[in-house]
A and B are shown apart, each in its own frame.
Chain A
Amino acid sequence: MTLLAVTGLGKRFAGLQAVDGVSFAVEPGEIYAVIGPNGAGKTTLLNLVTGIYAPSAGRVVLAGEDVTGLRPPDLAARGLSRTFQNLQIFSNLSAVENVMVGAHLRAETGFFAALFRWRGFEGKERALRAEAAELMRRLGIGELADAPAAAMPYGALKRLEIARALASRPRLLLLDEPAAGLNPSEARELVDVVRGIAASGVTIVLVEHNMPLVMAVSSRILVLHHGQKIAEGAPEAIRADREVIKAYLGVGRHTGVRELQDA
C-alpha cells in the first residue's frame, strides 16, 4: 500500500502561493527526492506533511489514514519523523540526550516513577541511553555522545538530527537538506548513510540541492518550481527534462544547471 499520498496540497502565505496543488505518492521502501530552486516551496511542503503548517488546500494520507491537519506529535505517533534545514537542536541537552528525546514516545514514564525513580526506571533509562549512543555510533558521531549539543560542530549537528529522528523508529523519514553546509567528503558519506537507513526499512523523502547525492540514492524525483510540481520521474529522466533545465537556468545560482547535468 502507498505509504504517503499527497493530493492537491497548497499553502498560501500573505500574498504568496508557496505550495500550489502538489500531488505525489511515496511507496514503502522508496527514497523519494524533492528538488527545486531556492524558494520553490520544498521546506513548506515538508512542513505541511509533518503538520507544522495547516494546508490551505489538499489532503495528506499516511498509510491509508487521512492525517490532514493533525499536529506534529500526532504524526510522530503514527511513525513520521524529520530533520530540519535550519536545525532544531535541543541546545541545552547533551548530544545523547537529544537522541533520547527522539525516543520520547517510547520513553514516557509516569510522573511519580520519574520523581522517585521507581519500578525499573533506571534500567529503562540505561537501555534508552545505550540505544541512543548506538544510533550516534551508526551515524559516525559516537565519540560525541556526552558533548553538550551547543558545543558541537555544524556537520555533527546535522547527523545528530538524523540520529534523533531515527530514535523514534519512524516508518517515514523526511530529510530537509541533510547535505547543506557539509564539506564535499562529508556530503559523500551521506550517500551510504541514507542508503543504510533505507535498507533498514525506513522510507525516505529527501529534500536536497546536492545533485550527486540525489542522483545516487533516489528512486524517483519530484521537481518543484514556484510551488508547483513541474516534473516527476526517475533520475535519468529528470536530468534530461527540458522544463527542469529551464527552471534551473532561470535561477542559475546555488543550484546551477551544471550540477544537475554533471551529477
Chain B
Amino acid sequence: MASARSGGTLALAGVLLVLPLILPNRYFLDVAILVCFNAVVCVGLNLLIGYAGQISLGHAGFFGLGAYASAILSGTYSWPPLAAMLAGALAVALLALVVGRPILRLKGHYLAMATLGLGIIISIVLTTEDRITGGPDGMSVPPLDVLGWTLSGEENWYWLAAGLLLLVVVLALNLIASPIGRAFRAIGSAELGAEVMGIRSARYKLMAFVISAVLAALAGSLAAHYAGFVTPGKVGFFHSIELVTMVVFGGMASTFGAVVGAAVLTVLPQLLTVFKEYEIIVFGLVLMGTMVFMPRGLVPTLAGLVGRRAG
C-alpha cells in the first residue's frame, strides 16, 4: 500500500517535471496549467464523492467564489492578492461549514439536488450583482503579486500550479491513509456500520465537504489570477458537472484517478476541436461510452486489468 502510494507520487512528480521539457509550445503549457488547477479541485472533490460517498453537483460555486473573492478584493479593493486569496478560502470554508451541516443530512438524489441548487444560487448571485462582479461580462483580475514580486509567464505559472498539485496529492494520500481517511471510506461504503464503530458521520462528511470546498476556492483564486479575468461561465451548473465527471471518469476513490480524469477531460475538448461542430456530440459520446464500458472509471479499471495480468 505504502509503496504503491509513493510509487504513484514519484511517477506524478516525474511527469510534472518532464512535461515543460517536452511540450512544444506555450499553448500546451497553458493547457497543462489548467489541468493542474482542475486536478487540485478534483482531488478534493474525490475525498467527498469518491471516498466519503457524498455527491456534490455544486462545487463550481465554491470555485467561483474563490475566483470572484480574488477578483473583487485584489482588484476593486486593492488588497494584496495573497490576502484576498486567503480571505476567499476562509469565507468559502465558513459557507461550506454553515450550509454543509443541513445539506449533508440529505442522502442520494436529494443531496444531489441540494448541492446543485446551492451551486446555481451562487452562480445566479454572481451573475446578477453586476455592480460588484461585472455581471455576465465578468471582470478583470490583477496579476498575482507576492510581496512585490509578480508572477508572470506560463513557465512560472506552470511551476506554481504543478507544485501545488503535487502538494495537494501528497497531503490527500496522507489523509486517506489516516484514521480520518478510513472514516471517510467507512462512511462511503457502510454509514451505519461506521456510526456503530464510533464514527460521527455528520462531522466527517462536513470535514470532507469543507476540505473540498476550500481546495476548489483556492484553485478558483489562482485560475482567476492566471487568466487575468473571471466570468460567471466557470461558476455555473456545467462546470460543476464537468468537475464531477472528471472525478468519476478518472475513477472514484482513486486520487490518481482524479488527476487523470482532470487531465483527460481538460485536454479532450482541445483535441476534439478537429471535429468542429461535432465536437459536443463526440464529447457526450465519449462520456457515455466510458461510463457504460468502465463504470468504475479509467484508472481503477486499467489498474484492475494490469493487476490481473500481473497476478
Complex Cα gap A113–B271 (Å): 42
Choose from A71, A89, A109, A111 the contact partner of B193 (Cβ within 8 Å): A89
- With A and B bound together, what is the CA distance between A133 and B93 in angstroms? 38
**Segment of A73-81, A192-200, A206-214, A239-247 engaged in the interface with chain B:** A73-81
In the complex, which residue of chain A has the Cβ closest to the Cβ of B195? A72
User: CA A82 – CA B196 in complex, angstroms?
Assistant: 7
Q: Looking across the interface, which residue of chain A has its beta carbon closest to that of B178?
A: A114
- For B, the interface residue count at a CB cutoff of 8 angstroms equals 27
Say whether B124 faces chain A, with CB atoms less than 8 Å apart: no
Residue of A nearest to B211 (CB): A111
For A97, what are the chain B residues with a Cβ–Cβ distance below 8 Å?
Answer: 182, 185
Stretch at the interface among A15-23, A25-33, A100-108, A248-256: A100-108
When distances are taken between beta carbons in the complex, the residues of chain B under 8 Å from A116 are 171, 174
Residues of A within 8 A of B179 (CB): 100, 104, 107-109, 114
**Closest beta carbon of chain A to B296's beta carbon, Å:** 11
Question: Which residues 15-66 in B have Cβ within 8 Å of A in the complex?
Answer: 51
A-B Cβ contacts below 8 A, count? 97
Does A68 count as interface, using CB distance less than 8 angstroms?
Answer: no
The answer to whether A89 and B198 touch across the interface, beta carbons within 8 angstroms, is: no
A77 proximity list for chain B (CB < 8 A) = 198
A43 within 8 Å of B by Cβ? no
B192 at the interface (CB under 8 A from A): yes
Which of A50, A107, A114 is within 8 Å of B196, CB to CB? A50
Contact flags B103-137 to A (C-beta < 8 A → 1, else 0): 00000000000000000000000000000000000
A82 CA to B198 CA, complexed, in Å: 11
Q: Contacts A101-B183, A168-B197, A168-B198 given: A115-B175 contact, CB under 8 Å?
A: yes
Task: Tell me if B198 and A105 are in contact (CB < 8 A).
Answer: yes
Rounded to whole angstroms, the CA-CA distance of A97 and B176 in the bound complex is 12
Q: Kindly supply a per-residue 1/0 record for chain A positions 150-174, scoring 1 wherever the CB is within 8 Å of any chain B CB and 0 otherwise.
A: 0000000000000010001000000
* B263 CB within 8 Å of chain A: no
Distance in Å: Cβ of A136 to nearest Cβ of chain B: 16
B199: A residues at CB distance < 8 A: 73, 101, 104
The docked-state distance in angstroms from the alpha carbon of A109 to that of B181 is 11
What are the residues of chain A within 8 A of B171 when measuring CB–CB?
115-116
Please tell me the number of chain A residues within 8 Å of chain B, measured between CB atoms. Answer: 36
In the assembled complex, A93 has its CB within 8 A of some CB on chain B: yes
Structural contact, B189 and A90, CB atoms closer than 8 A: yes
Kindly state whether residue B272 has any CB partner on chain A within 8 Å. no
Beyond A108-B179, A114-B181, whether A101 also contacts B197 by CB under 8 A is yes
B contact residues around A94 at 8 Å (CB): 1
Scan residues 171-214 of chain B and give those whose CB is less than 8 A from a CB of chain A: 171, 174-175, 178-183, 185-186, 188-190, 192-200, 207
B265 on interface, CB distance cutoff 8 Å: no
Tell me if A261 counts as interface (CB < 8 A to partner B). Answer: no
Give A93's nearest chain B residue, CB to CB.
B185
Query: Please, which residue of chain B has its CB at the minimum distance from the CB of A100?
Result: B182
B253 at the interface (CB under 8 A from A): yes
Q: Are A90 and B253 in contact (CB under 8 A)?
A: no
Contact A91 B198 (CB under 8 A): no
Collect the chain A residues with CB atoms within 8 Å of residue B198's CB.
72-73, 76-77, 104-105, 168
How would residues 131 to 146 of chain A score, 1 for a CB under 8 Å from any chain B CB and 0 otherwise?
Answer: 0000000000000001
B253 CB contact (under 8 Å) in A72, A92, A102, A121: A92
Within the assembled complex, what's the spacing in Å between the Cα atoms of A84 and B197?
Answer: 12
Let me know if B197 and A164 touch, CB within 8 A.
Answer: yes
Interface residues as binary, B231-270 with A (CB distance below 8 Å gives 1, 0 otherwise): 0000000000000000000000100000000000000000
**A residues apposed to B, CB below 8 Å:** 50, 52, 71-73, 76-77, 81-82, 84, 88-94, 97, 100-102, 104-105, 107-109, 111, 114-117, 121, 125, 146, 164, 168
What are the 3 tightest A-B residue pairs by CB atom distance, in nearest-first order?
A88-B193, A76-B198, A114-B178
> 30 interchain pairs (CB within 8 A)?
A50-B196, A52-B195, A73-B198, A73-B199, A76-B197, A77-B198, A81-B196, A82-B196, A88-B190, A88-B192, A89-B189, A90-B182, A90-B185, A90-B189, A92-B188, A100-B179, A100-B182, A101-B183, A101-B199, A105-B197, A109-B178, A111-B207, A114-B174, A114-B178, A114-B179, A115-B174, A116-B171, A117-B174, A168-B197, A168-B198
Known pairs A81-B196, A91-B190, A93-B186. 15 more at Cβ < 8 A?
A: A52-B195, A72-B192, A76-B195, A76-B196, A84-B192, A90-B193, A93-B185, A94-B1, A97-B185, A104-B182, A104-B183, A114-B181, A117-B178, A125-B178, A168-B198
